[in-house]
Amino acid sequence: MEKRGVEMTEKVKRRVELILLVALILSLIASFVLFFLQFYKVALALGAFFMLLANFIGFRAYSKTTDYVHRTSYHTNKDRYK
């Protein structure tokens, strides 16, 4: 029963990642379209949103990778850290 909860959590995480990725791509495209339609302030705001979202996704991926490397390094060299 607990395993089902874990699977749902992974499913929700994947869905959130997909939504963030789609929002990232759409904000970039919309920013360029609005810029060329001469809505400069809105395009600038949307571009800033794109940069914040890209920064958040990049930092999350970096911290996930760092955590993975640390955990695998610790588990393969347990006696070294005693």
CA angle, corner 72, sides to 4 and 17, nearest 5?
A: 50
Q: How far apart are CA 72 and CA 65, in angstroms?
A: 11
In this predicted structure, the answer to whether residue 61 has a pLDDT above a threshold of 70 is: yes
Give the pLDDT score at 16: 84
Q: What is the DSSP string of 24-47?
A: HHHHHHHHHHHHHTT-HHHHHHHH
In this predicted structure, the answer to whether residue 74 has a pLDDT above a threshold of 60 is: yes
Q: What is the mean pLDDT of residues 21-47?
A: 92
Give the pLDDT score at 82: 59
Report in angstroms the alpha-carbon separations of 36 from 9, 28, 30, 46, 47: 41, 13, 10, 13, 13
Domain total in the chain: 1
Residue 77 belongs to what domain range? 2-81
